[in-house]
Amino acid sequence: MKNIIITEEMLASKTKRFVNYLIDLIPFYLISYGLIYSIFYLGDYLDNYELSQFFINLSFIEELIIDSIIIVFYYFIFESLTFRSLGKYVTNTKVIMKNGDAPTPKDVLIRGLCRIIPFDGLSFLGTNGKGWHDAISKTYVVDIEKFKT
C-alpha cells in the first residue's frame, strides 16, 4: 500500500478523458462489427442461414447486451493487464486506486461493469472530472507525467 494522496493536479484533464473516450470507441466498433460480420459471413459460408438470420433479426435489447459484453470485456482485458486502455496509451494516462496502488482485477471489473450505465461515457464531464465508473470503483485516471511514484 503506497498511501499517496491524489491531488487535483495529478488527475487527467477532461480533454484527455474525452480523447480517451473517443479513441476507445474505435476498437469497440471494430470488435463489435467485426464479430457480427464474421459470424454472419461464417453462417453464409457454412450454408447456415439460420445463424446469419439470427444476427440480422437481433432486437435493440439483444444488440445492447452484446455491445455491453464487448465493452466490459475490452476494458477488463486492457485495464487489468496494463491499467490503460488504447485511449489511455495515446493520452499517457492510467488507472490507479485512491492510495496510488494499481487496481485489482475486481476493481477493473467493477469499472468495466459501470461503463454500461447509460451516459457513463460522458459522466466525467461533471464538475470533479470523475466518471461514474471512477466514483463507483473508487479509482482515478491520472496523467502519468504528473503522477510519479
Picking from 26-35, 130-139, 140-149, which range would have the lowest pLDDT averaged per residue?
Answer: 140-149
Where in 2-133 does DSSP place strands (E)?
93-97
| pLDDT number for residue 2 | 65
**Residue extents of the structural domains in the chain:** 8-143
Residue 140's pLDDT is 93
- The pLDDT value recorded for residue 56 is 78
Comparing 9-23, 49-63, 76-90, which segment has the lowest mean pLDDT? 49-63
pLDDT greater at residue 141 or residue 130: 141
- Burial of residue 111 (CB within 10 Å: 0-12, 13-18, 19+) is buried
> With helix as H, strand as E and coil as C, how does 45-60 read?
HCCCHHHHHHHHCCCH
Q: What is the arithmetic mean of pLDDT over 53-68?
A: 87
Is the pLDDT assigned to residue 71 strictly greater than 60? yes
Average pLDDT over residues 55-76: 90
